[in-house]
Every structure is written in C-alpha cells, then in structure tokens.
Homo-oligomer: A and B are copies of this chain.
Amino acid sequence: MRQLRPVLHCLLLALPMTIGTALFAADAATLAITACGATADDRSDCTPAVQVALARCRSEGIHTLVFPKGRYDFFPARATERYLAVSNNDPGMKRIAFPLVGVSDLVIDGQGADLVFHGIIVPFVLDGAHHITLRNLSIDWQRPFHSEGVVVAADAGGVELTFSDEFPYQIAGGRFVPQGDNQQGIEIDNALEFDTTLRETAFQVSDNYGFADKVVASAVAPGRVRFSGKFSTPQPHVGNLMALMPNHRLAPAIVILESHDVRLQDVTIFHAGAMGVIAQRSSELALERLVVAPRPGGKRLISATADATHFSGCGGAITMTGCRFENQIDDATNVHGIYTRVTARPDARSVEVKLMHPQQYGVRVADVGDLMQFIHADTLAGYHRAAVTAVRVINQEYTVLTFAEPLPAELRLTDGVLDLRWSADFTARGNRSRGNRARGFLISTAGRVLIEDNDFHVPGSAIIIAGDANYWFESGPVADVTIRGNRFTACGYGTWGRATIAIEPEIRAEHRGLPRYHHGIRIVGNAFEVVDNRVLFAHSVAGLQCTGNTFTPSATYPPTHAEAKRFTVTDCDDVMLQEER
C-alpha cells in the first residue's frame, strides 16, 4: 500500500483541498468504514464493509482505516474463509472478519469502537502482514463460547446453577447443551469455580476436566440446572460462579502469522473463543495497553476461553507494556518454540520430524537457512546444530529436513529438533496479571528477557520457565532472563504450579556431566506477598541469582505449603540465593 495515487476520492475523510496538496493528502488519507457500507450501531453485518475497505486501502494506497466511534457487528455468513493451523488453537477452515493477508503498512484505528462478533468467526488474522497497527478498539461476542452459572445450592452430591439469558442452553440426555450461534459441536469439558467477591478463581479449586461425562445435568426450573456428580474441587460456595468451558479453541481474537512489525495499542479483548492474541513465526510485536478482561459493568466474569496472549516460534523483539490480563481461562502469556520429534532418518543428511501436539499441526517447522538445534528428549541435552538446506513438508504432521553435512551418529529417533532462528527477546513492563485460571507468564525463549515492574496475582505460578520434548513439546532453554522490581501478590492461592517462580525443564533422565538446560536467570528486587511458601523452584540452571527480594505474608489468603522450603534448587550451578533481604 505504498503506492501513491494523486486522485481525490469523494469518500475519503479529507477536507476539500487544492490539486497542489493532493499528492501528499492521498498518501496520508484515512478511509472510514462507514464510507464502505457499514453503519455504526445498527447491528447489521459489517463484514462485507471490511472487505470493501481492505480492497480500497490496497487499490487506493490508503494506510489508515478508521471506525467512527460506535458499535459494529460481525457475522460469519459472508466472511472470508481460510484454513488456519494456528499453534495451540484448533486448526480448521475459519471465517475471518478482518483478513489482513499479505497486507502492509496499515493502521486500523477503532477510535474507541466496540466490535461485537457473532458465531464462529476469527476477528483479526494477520498473515504475511507487515507494519500493521490495530488501535483503540474492543472485541467482544454477543454469545460467549463458554457459559457462566451462579451457584444457588451445593451439597456433597452436586451443585445447582442459574444461568442468565446471556447463556442459553438445553438439557438433553443428562447433558448441559449450550445453545447459540457458536455452540454447534461444543461440549462442556471443564468447570471451574470463581469467587464473585474477589473476582478470581476460588481458593484452592482445581479443574473438573471430563465434566460432561462425570456429571449428570437435570432441569430444576427455567434457567436453573442441577449438576449431580463428583466435583474435583472443594464443594462450591453459594453465590460463587461456575465457569463451564468448551472443549474446543475455535475462535482466537487476534491471530498473527508469519508477520513482521505489528502493534496492538489500546486494544481491549472482552472475550475470545480461544486465545486473545496468538502470534506464530512473527517478529517485532508490540502490545501496548492491551487489555484482556471481562467488560466492566457487564454480567460476565470470564474473558477469553484460553491464554490471554501466546507467542509460538516468534523472533525479534516482543514487548508488552502496560497491559492487563484478567480472568481468562488460561495463562497470561507463553513465549516458546516448538520441539519437533525425529521420526525417521531417510538418509545421512536428512531427518523426518513430526509435530507432536495436534494443536501444533500445520505450523511451519523450518525454512531453508534456519539453524536447528538437536536434543535428546530424555536429557534435553543439545548435541548438534546445523542449518537447513531443504525442507519438504509431507503434511501437517510430518516434514523432512535436509542439511549440508551428514548428521551425527548420536542422532536417535525421539530426539527433539528446535528452530533457533525464532528466539525472541521479550520485554514485559508495567503489566498486570490477575484472577485467571492457572499461571502468569510462561517464558521459554533463548532471547534476552526482561520482566520488570509487573503485578502478578494469579492462582498458580506467576512465572514458569520450562522446556519439554515429551508432552507439550514447547521449547526451549533460556539464556538471559531478568525478573526485577515486580510485585507477586498472593500468587499460588490455587492449584496450578509448584512455586511462584518455577524453573522446571522436563528432564527425564540422568543428566550428570551434561550442560545445564537453562542459563542466566536473575530474580532481583521483587516484592513477594506470600500465600504458597514455595516461592522458587529451580532445576538445571547455570547462573541463578535470587537476591534482594522482600517476602511478606499475604493478608488475603491463609498460607499454603507452610512447611515447604521457600527455595528448592536442584542441579544448578553458580547459584546466589538470599532468602531474606
């Protein structure tokens, strides 16, 4: 869209001007969605207007699309379609409201617009898109993908919930069958109690996976359902809320694929039918004042049905500044690569590798020229690096990678292979993470990591640095992590994690004599208000510093794991720990 067109278009939002200024004006011009067929607040489908607008931006060299303040609705019926294989979400043919495919140099400025989606539709897909800014808009769904019920009775045999008309449902064959334009094929897979006073997961509750099979639903009265069966959580409290979660991750809000230089500024995601923001093999990503949280003053307590943000195999600099992640159904962020598994060795210079997790199927494994790291899955020990000379994709699961030189004899089936090109630097400053199911930040990138001046109040671990080539297949080792000046307030009041900061690579075999998996982790000058006494767990780190932090008891929740050690450090070298400042 760098093309200059010395043409004035009657629909451009530009004041009448002389021919002398037209050249500059056309380039700087702004197109309003309302000039493309959309009308604010009329509840009609604005999806076709976006298609018109994107075509005009492309053909007329317009770089800014604006939404006059108001509500705009989007439906899947006439949306653009694209088969999406997005890491950690469900692959499939998706309807897309804003298909920014191969688009460059575009700002979409919502000017405070409220974008409301209906049915199974992905709001934004950036694919091969460069220099894109989404600004000052909110994303919500008319009918959320999850359902929320208020606990009105509870006993050892089950609970009774009431549902507002925001969450229509039927009872059929002993099952709670959510109704609505995005509920086809959805089953309730998990149920979780939220404390409605504190607006967070209830104290020490855990997941109820397999909910639909374990619990029998029966109608008590209109809008009131009894769920009989054994809950894995403590008995729910009357007045609290049960979030009933879908078994699919169908509709992430913002998908960023193989794109470069993307800014989200003052974007608010009230709901998403999967992750809020998922980026994959993309670089230079800036999240500024991104909010993932339920709508203030609204009836709902849950925001996105999966992670607030997620970065799979991304590179360059990822920055997250002044963001707020609240009440989503999974972690605040996860920055990682993917270990593929060696499944065959077609010749001396080639390996066949497989994407192991079904929600990773279809992610590009490598490009020619990428430097790949080979590790053994049991020890996670790296033993070889080489650059790819050829890539042959067999299908969404299998890829054959070829290298210039023969691969070492040490290569074994089940080894992990990681693309080192995508090792993002990650900087998080001034963000707030609270009230969601599970954890805060999961960080597994070999780039430079700075986590500074953030507030964490999450029921599981606030920060996890993992690495695993056996179950999730999420890489990889960190090399330079600084965690400083953050406030960890009553983290670990739930059941997800074994320490407020957990460094836990999944090393399954004897590691003696091998290099440590992680390197260079500094945890300094943070304030820990402690519920779970287990503040730090660390395994297989060379260069671990945890000093200058303060530890005070939490006033919110009673202590848990009071007998446990504050720091548990195993198989680490070059360690500096200071339990009290």
Contact = CB atoms under 8 A, between A and B. Distances in A.
A398 B92 CA distance: 18
Contacts of A394: 78, 80
Most B-side CB within 10 Å, residue of A78, A95, A397: A78
A396 interface: yes
Given A91-B93, A93-B83, A93-B91, A395 B78 contact: yes
B83 A83 contact: yes
A173 interface: yes
Number of copies: 2
A353 B541 CA distance: 62
Given A173-B213, A213-B173, A398 B77 contact: yes
A81 interface: yes
A372 interface: no
Contact of A95 (B81, B92, B395): B395
Nearest to A398: B78
Interface string A393-414: 0111110000000000000000
Contacts of A256: none
A2 B93 CA distance: 36
A79 interface: yes
Interface string A78-118: 11110100000001110100000000000000000000000
Contact of A396 (B93, B213, B397): B93
B83 A395 contact: no
A77 B81 CA distance: 26
Contacts of A93: 83, 91-92, 396
Contacts of A81: 395-396
Contacts of A398: 77-78
Given A91-B93, A93-B91, A80 B395 contact: yes
A396 to B, nearest CB: 6
Interface residues of A, number: 17
A83 B83 CA distance: 8
A398 to B, nearest CB: 6
Contact of A77 (B77, B78, B397): B397
A396 B96 CA distance: 13
Contacts of A83: 83, 93
A357 B398 CA distance: 34
A270 to B, nearest CB: 26
Contacts of A80: 394-395
A181 B83 CA distance: 24
**Which of A83, A213, A397 has the most chain B CB atoms closer than 10 A to its own CB?**
A397
A57 to B, nearest CB: 18
A212 to B, nearest CB: 10
A79 B395 contact: yes
A398 B81 CA distance: 11
A398 B79 CA distance: 9
Contacts of A78: 394-395, 398
Interface string A376-396: 000000000000000000111
Contacts of A396: 81, 93
A121 to B, nearest CB: 11
Most buried by B among A91, A93, A397: A93
A176 to B, nearest CB: 15
A78 B78 CA distance: 35
Contacts of A95: 395
A93 B91 CA distance: 10
Nearest to A344: B78
A55 to B, nearest CB: 11
A413 to B, nearest CB: 14
Interface in A55-87: 77-81, 83
A91 B93 CA distance: 10
A93 B93 CA distance: 9
Contacts of A395: 78-81, 95
Nearest to A175: B173
A500 to B, nearest CB: 39
A397 B394 CA distance: 29
Interface in A22-60: none
Contacts of A79: 395
A173 B187 CA distance: 15
Nearest to A51: B394
Nearest to A48: B394
A395 B397 CA distance: 26
A91 B81 CA distance: 14
Interface string A468-502: 00000000000000000000000000000000000
A522 to B, nearest CB: 44
Given A79-B395, A83-B83, 12 more contacts: A77-B397, A77-B398, A78-B395, A78-B398, A80-B394, A80-B395, A81-B396, A83-B93, A91-B93, A92-B93, A95-B395, A173-B213
15 contacts: A77-B397, A77-B398, A78-B394, A78-B395, A78-B398, A79-B395, A80-B395, A81-B395, A81-B396, A83-B83, A83-B93, A91-B93, A92-B93, A93-B396, A95-B395
Q: What are the 8 A-B residue pairs with the smallest beta carbon separation, nearest first?
A: A81-B395, A78-B394, A83-B83, A78-B398, A81-B396, A79-B395, A80-B395, A173-B213
